[in-house]
Structure 1
Amino acid sequence: MRIRTAVAAAALLTVVGCSQAPDHRASMPLPVPLNGAAQPAPDEERVLHEAEERAVASCMRDKGFGYRRVPPVPAPGANPYGLLTREEAEDDGYGMTSAALAAPGPDPNVRLTEGWSTERRKGWERALVGTSRHERTITARHAPSLRVNTNGCVYQSQIELYGRGWEEARLALEGVNAKLLDDVTSTKAYAKGQRAWARCMRSRGEPYSTLDDARGAIQQQLAGAGTTPEALRRVARKELDLAVGDAQCQDESKLADIIRTGQRRAEKQLPDSAHRLAERVSAARQRVVADTPAGTATPRNTAADGPT
């Protein structure tokens, strides 16, 4: 029943989306801070996830444990400012319903460890996530602190792939990215543009004051829809309608241009060290992508890598 529900809703989303062929020229790429250094594109994210899961499996195998690689969790490739092109909106709305429908099932390692003794299962968990005796707290300005256990495969596989200091660099860049987003969206120009967007949305019968409010409404409806076919169909229709109107109002209010200008100014004020940090993080990810064999896919429910 769940599969039929997912297929039916996904089919609806695709048909409705494809039926609204765009009648305008493709616009400029939407602005993202530091050329997207802190937020890999969805395709790149999938490759990185696969590489990380293989590294975890290898580490667990070296410690004498099996590990089933966990499939990636689909996530909408959302612009960090909440911007949306008309093409994206007409094709997949905000990407929320399709991402929810494509979500993988339970962690395959639950089945792997079924029937194990309590002692062996705890040993498996210690090998994977490490122990509190080896806990470190990593901090960076404008970013939440990150606690890691340095003797676990989750942490060690990151170091193997990206190099020492990776978690510190990644967290520091997240802080720079967050500060940039805040600086850009705190300007008077942005506030004026968002008010113009809200007026446009109200003229379409949508009462939202901010871009986040519109997406949040769909997220709330999706959370309440469960797996009921008719409820999912309603959410899919509403998502497409709302996203298309959202994108059109963004165009009319020139929000992307306002953000692009504000971001250019904010990035010019960054110290050279911030730009070098972005280049370092991007280069590390690109190396991993380049070293990952083409066509590699994370298995959904295959035999465990390593001993069981």
Structure 2
Amino acid sequence: MAGVLALSACGTSATDEDATRAELTGLELDLLTRSGTFTRTNVDLANAESKLISACMKAKGFRYRAEVSAPTTESDEELSLNRAERHERGYGLASQYDSEKDAVGKGTNDAYVAGLSKKNADAYAEALRGGATDFREMRLGGGRNITFSARGCEARSRTSLYGSLDDWVSVSYFPQNLNSELGPRVEKSPKYRRAMAEWRTCMRGKGYTYASPDAAYDQLKAAYRARGVTAASRDREIAVAVADGDCAAEVHVPSTVLALRRAYAQSLPTADKLQLRRLTAIWKTAADKVR
């Protein structure tokens, strides 16, 4: 591995006084909680990155089909619940434990690579992500490390958008890591506990007695591990996931959680607020480039 970096709040001209005096802005909270303007901005950036990778790979003699997604009009709560997906796949657990493997090369680019000789497929992989010695690691804190390649068309495209790979990986992962640290505070909140009590009442009305959505997920997962995947277990998973989503929508669990996260973020440590402020500026600059 070529190098290991530790992410810190260095590299900003803001002072500690600035961070403690001013509240985090709406844009900073959007990046932190992946809500509000985040979804549209994330789609724009992902589309731009895919197009850059496609052009880079073409210059190296390979075909790469850019994946372009349309922005969604769904609300944060609708996106969080993803009820259409629940009706089709439940929590997506069955596919993880199904003994039948998915066919190789379903995606357009995967199908292209599957048709190459081993020599050309290896060259394609190196053009896209570099070689085995090109990977680096960044430590985000809390025991979480991110590994990424410093070479290849993916790295070049991300550097073009964000200015450096360090900034790309920081924007992509540091806010998520920080947001996850707010979880315990959210779960202790009286508002959250009331919402979950209402969720349990709703679920009992549908015939389920799970303590929480996580408990439902974990119990279904344990059943798959113990007994494998059957038609009945798939049906059970979908039924529970749909009921969970319907009850969460009825009592607005996702909206409650999001409001609490955005509120608690204002009391984050100074160093974290400074880093989030710096990364939001980088994120906005990258988004402005592609619009």
More helix by share: 2
TM over 0.5: yes
- The AA in structure 2 aligned to 1:129 is R
Alignment RMSD: 4.5
1:193 Cα deviation from its structure 2 partner: 4.5
Q: Does 1:35 align with 2:30?
A: yes
Q: Does 1:96 align with 2:86?
A: yes
Per-residue displacement from partner, 1:19-39 (whole Å, max 9, x unpaired)?
Answer: xxxxxxxxxxxx999334352
**Corresponding residue for 2:181?**
179
Structure 2, unaligned stretches of length 5 or more?
1-25, 91-104
Among 32, 37, 57, the alignment partner of 2:54 is 57
**Corresponding residue for 1:247?**
249
Q: What CA distance in whole angstroms lies between the structure 2 residues aligned with 1:132 and 1:203?
A: 54
After superposition, the Cα gap between the structure-2 partners of 1:255 and 1:113, relative to the gap in structure 1 and judged at 3 Å, is closer
Tell whether the 8 Å contact from 1:173 to 1:277 is kept in structure 2 after alignment: no
**Corresponding residue for 1:147?**
147
- The AA in structure 1 aligned to 2:47 is E
**Corresponding residue for 1:160?**
160
- The AA in structure 1 aligned to 2:269 is P
Q: What CA distance in whole angstroms lies between the structure 1 residues aligned with 2:89 and 2:40?
A: 14
**Corresponding residue for 2:98?**
none
Q: What CA distance in whole angstroms lies between the structure 2 residues aligned with 1:74 and 1:235?
A: 29
Aligned to 1:37, what secondary structure does the other structure show? helix
1:211 Cα deviation from its structure 2 partner: 2.9
After superposition, the Cα gap between the structure-2 partners of 1:155 and 1:99, relative to the gap in structure 1 and judged at 3 Å, is farther
Q: What CA distance in whole angstroms lies between the structure 1 residues aligned with 2:176 and 2:113?
A: 35
Name the TM-score, length of structure 1 as normaliser.
Answer: 0.59
**Corresponding residue for 2:259?**
260
Q: Does 1:201 align with 2:199?
A: no
Q: What CA distance in whole angstroms lies between the structure 2 residues aligned with 1:262 and 1:121?
A: 44
Name the TM-score, length of structure 2 as normaliser.
Answer: 0.62
Tell whether the 8 Å contact from 1:143 to 1:172 is kept in structure 2 after alignment: no
- Aligned pairs, number: 242
After superposition, the Cα gap between the structure-2 partners of 1:45 and 1:106, relative to the gap in structure 1 and judged at 3 Å, is farther
How is 1:294-305 mapped onto 2 (pairs within 5 angstroms)? none
Q: What CA distance in whole angstroms lies between the structure 1 residues aligned with 2:188 and 2:80?
A: 26
Among 196, 211, 214, the alignment partner of 1:212 is 214
After superposition, the Cα gap between the structure-2 partners of 1:211 and 1:145, relative to the gap in structure 1 and judged at 3 Å, is same
Q: Percent identity?
A: 18
Q: Does 1:48 align with 2:45?
A: yes
Q: What CA distance in whole angstroms lies between the structure 2 residues aligned with 1:218 and 1:78?
A: 28
